[in-house]
Structures are given as structure tokens and as C-alpha cells.
Structure 1
């Protein structure tokens, strides 16, 4: 699973699924990948005053891509958690692996049950100090394009975090991504 990018709107379950990928991989002989969370990187940039609140989030994506490239070049696996809302951000990950010969696995998480998605958005707590989580209205009005090119599209309204993580690991370890 060299570079696996897990994207999707806020509150679809990306963090829960990524944590399960890490847990399951830690229990296997392959070991866990390096986990890069765009929210953590962007919050650190805001804390350092290098990124102002409300600024477009490109800096976090570019910083994560640079770290991912270094990890991949050294033979490590990388798991990226991000919204990954647009073709521009998605191309960045493809470019990150292009000249390394590394595999790329694109995963889009959705939550097809709008009531469940809203409940998650309204009831979840944050685990990144200082990060303000988006409201349901901000989530529903966010600029987000569906990701039909994703290697996997998993519905967290129908799958548990563990089931989704297993699907990601199974495809990644089988070499199912380019």
C-alpha cells in the first residue's frame, strides 16, 4: 500500500477508517504506514501563523506531499487522510508517486445516509488541538467534486470502520492500484 490517499467530506469517517488501517497493519507483518493528516498539518501551519484561518488549504497538501515523497523514496508506506476535494488536489498525489515507481491507491469515503452524516458532523469531537470542526452547513456547502477515478469508493453508512479498512488493505496489498 505505498501511497494510499483516503478522501471524502468531513464527518464521513476518514479518521476512524485510517485508525483502523493503522491498527490492522500494526498487527500484520507489514507494519503500519506513516499517517499524514492534512488537518494536523494545516492546524500546525495556523498555529505558527504561516497560514491564516480561512485561507485556502493548499499549503497543507503540498507539505504532506513532500513528506510522503520522502517516506516513499526511503521505501516506506504512506497513508494520507484529507478531504481531497478537487481534481487539482488529486493530481498532486498522482504526481507525488509518478517518478518514484510507487503504487497509488485512491480511496473516496462517502456517507450515503444524509441523516447519519449530519449526526456524525454534529456529534463528533475533535482530536486536533485548536482545530475548529466544520458545521453541517459548511460541510454541505463545501466545494467538493465526486471522485469517480478513485480505486475504491466506500460507503461508511453501510460499512464499519473496520470493514472499510480491510477493503483498503486488501486492495493495497494485492497491488490493485496503479
Structure 2
């Protein structure tokens, strides 16, 4: 199964992805550390490292799926092209693709999380609240069936909900 996390920066999607990865013993392929690694390797920030990081994440997830293991992709996935990338990978590998969108309905809490977080990704610059607000306006509407988790709910409850959703998806319901 290919589990694709989506949502604005600072909503808590990486925390959910990591908890799911532990629960499912599935690797989490995260776009932000990949992009930061490109910058550390000397690729200029003026280059399209964001789209390139998605391509690298796809290659890593493809390798995991080739081993008959599930993979979790941790990325914003705000645009249809990104979502189609994951659907295409799932189709090529013959595995279900499950989207999990993570939101934070409390704008003040979302902003506090974003502005106070320090994920320790060497060379990665966290986005500003203004950048997240702009991204929210550009976030493409969803056509895919997906689970929406609101991180105003506690992490264990959200993970339990996600595990139930993934179990049903695995059974084809």
C-alpha cells in the first residue's frame, strides 16, 4: 500500500506519518529532508528543488514498494500534479494508494505550531505563516477519496482512526 500524507506545513502531518510508520513498520519518505539534502549537496535554492524532491521521494517509495512493503509519503501534496504522481506510482506497482489529509482547524494553534517548530532538518528553512497562508489559497480541491484528520484531536486518536481507515482500504472497502 502507498499511503500519501497531505496538508499544509505545520498541521502535524509529519507527526501522524511517523506514528503510522511505527505502527505499520513502514518507512516514511519525507520530501523536506530530501530537499534540504539537495541544498547541502550544493544544488542552488534558485533551482526547482521542491519538484525534484518529489521525484526523488517517488523513486525511494518505488523501491520500497518493489520489496512488497508499504510506504508512507510525507509531503504537502497541494497540487493535482503531485497527487497524480502518487496515483501513477500505485498503478505501476499494482498497490492501493490511500490519501490522508491532515488539517488543523484551529488557526491560532496551527500558527503557533508552525512558528515554534524546530524539526532539526539541517539546512531546511521552515516556511513563514504568510507562506502557509498563500499555499492554503493555492491548495487544489480534492477529487480523491481520502481520510481527513484534524490535529486538534490528539495524536493517538488520529493514528487509531487512520489505522482503521487503512485497514478498510486494504480490504477494498
Same fold (TM over 0.5): yes
| 3-state SS, counterpart of residue 99 of structure 1 | helix
The answer as to whether partners of 1:36 and 1:79 remain within 8 angstroms in 2 is yes
- Structure 1 segments (4+ residues) deviating >4 Å: none
Gaps of 5+ in 2: none
How many angstroms apart in 2 are the aligned matches of 1:93 and 1:78? 11
How many angstroms apart in 2 are the aligned matches of 1:34 and 1:164? 19
Number of residue pairs aligned between Structure 1 and Structure 2: 170
Q: TM-score of the superposition, structure 1-length normalised?
A: 0.87
Cα deviation, 1:67-87, whole Å, max 9, x if unaligned, reads 111211220110111001100
The two structures, once aligned, show a CA RMSD in angstroms of 1.9
The answer as to whether partners of 2:35 and 2:49 remain within 8 angstroms in 1 is no
Bigger helix share: 2
Match runs of 1:1-178 below 5 Å: 2-25=1-24, 32-52=25-45, 55=48, 57-142=50-135, 143-157=138-152, 159-174=153-168, 175=170
How many angstroms apart in 1 are the aligned matches of 2:129 and 2:42? 27
The answer as to whether partners of 1:171 and 1:177 remain within 8 angstroms in 2 is no
Q: TM-score of the superposition, structure 2-length normalised?
A: 0.89
